[in-house]
Amino acid sequence: MDVKTAEFLKSSAHPKECPPADRPEYAFIGRSNVGKSSLINFLTNRKGLAKISSSPGKTQLINHFVIDEELQKTRDGSSWYLVDLPGFGYAKVSKTSRVKWQRTSEQFLTGRSNLMCVMMLIDSRHPPQQVDLDFMIWMAEKQLPFVMVFTKVDKLNRAERSEFLPRYELEMLKKWNCMPPVYVTSSEKREGREELLCFIQQTNSLYTA
Ligand code: GTP
Ligand code: MG
């Protein structure tokens, strides 16, 4: 599958303001600066679609992008929503606004009937972070389907590249019976796009209005 058209649709401060839940939807979440907006631009092949931050904490609203809108009324494909959510765990914003963003994201994720999967972005350079581990447990408790998407693998050397995933698995398997699906990406070096789009295409076919 490729992306034919991708357009910014709406920024919403609250889940109630979001576009109608009328097509399959994928939410991108992860710690601030993990590379959510970059991955969105990479997947859609549109450079400036989601704003890349030089300073973390840029995305503060629920941003909806509509993909292949013209397929919404046809049967030979699917239009879908891609959602850029505020990054969590960013220390330099006030605690009040951090808590507010987190609550907004959580309300959004638990309230969307069309949410097919959460893309849980994780920076491949860092050891497992408690805030990420906690968030995945929270999703499991809420029965939200998610996949792990490791970002920035271009920044790893050969040894690090072979080690980061087993290291993460070791940590996950202390709490989980098995690993969720894993995708490995680099927006910089354009890695992992086909695999993710293929997953989205397969998952779109499971959508029932
Ligand atoms: P917030 O909106 O602040 O939560 O950040 P974000 O998760 O959307 O991250 P963003 O895409 O804005 O990227 C943050 C920084 O990481 C930018 O400087 C990007 O250029 C860089 N970056 C993102 N993806 C990659 C990647 O795959 N490889 C490399 N080397 N850098 C990346
Ligand atoms: Mg962003």
Paired strand residues for 151: 123
CA angle 131, 134, 137 (to 5 degrees): 155
Q: What is the mean pLDDT of the chain?
A: 91
Confidence of residue 53 (pLDDT cuts 50, 70, 90): low
- The secondary structure of residue 31, as a DSSP letter, is B
- Tell whether ligand 1 has an atom less than 6 A from the beta carbon of residue 193: no
Name the pLDDT band for 41 (thresholds 50, 70, 90): very high
Q: How many C-alpha atoms does 96 have within 13 Å on its Cβ side?
A: 0
Binning pLDDT at 50, 70 and 90, where does residue 52 land?
A: confident
Q: What residue spans of 22-78 are helical by DSSP H?
A: 36-44
Give the model confidence (pLDDT) of 154-196 as tens digits. 999 999 999 999 999 999 999 999 999 999 999 999 999 999 9
Asked if residue 27 lies in contact with residue 118, where contact means CB atoms within 8 angstroms, the answer is yes
Check whether domain 6-204 has CATH 3.40.50.300, yes or no: yes
Q: Give the three-state DSSP class for 118.
A: strand
* b/e code 143-159 from CB counts within 10 Å (16+ = b): ebebbbbbbbbeebeee
Per-residue pLDDT of 109-158, as tens digits, reads 999 999 999 999 999 999 999 999 999 999 999 999 999 999 999 999 99
* Ligand 1 binding pocket includes 38 (Cβ within 6 Å): yes
CB of residue 98 inside a 6 A radius of ligand 1: no
What is the sign of the dihedral through the CA atoms of 70, 76, 81 and 82?
A: negative
From the CA of 52, give the closest atom in ligand 1.
Answer: 12
Q: Measure 136 CA to ligand 1 centroid, in angstroms.
A: 21
Alpha carbon distance, N-terminus to C-terminus of the chain: 21
Atom of ligand 1 nearest to the CA of 34: 7
Q: Which atom of ligand 1 is nearest to the CA of 53?
A: 12
User: Which of 152, 111, 140 lies closest to 14, judged by CA?
Assistant: 111
For residues 182 and 124, what is the distance between their CA atoms, to the nearest angstrom? Answer: 12
CA 68 from centre of chain: 18
Does the beta carbon of 191 lie inside 6 Å of ligand 1?
no
Test site for ligand 1: of 42, 51, 53, most ligand atoms within 8 A of the Cβ = 53
Adjacency order of strands within the sheet including 115-123: 6-12, 62-67, 80-84, 25-30, 115-123, 146-151, 182-184
* Ligand 1 neighbour 89 (Cβ under 6 A): no
Give the domain ranges of the chain.
6-204
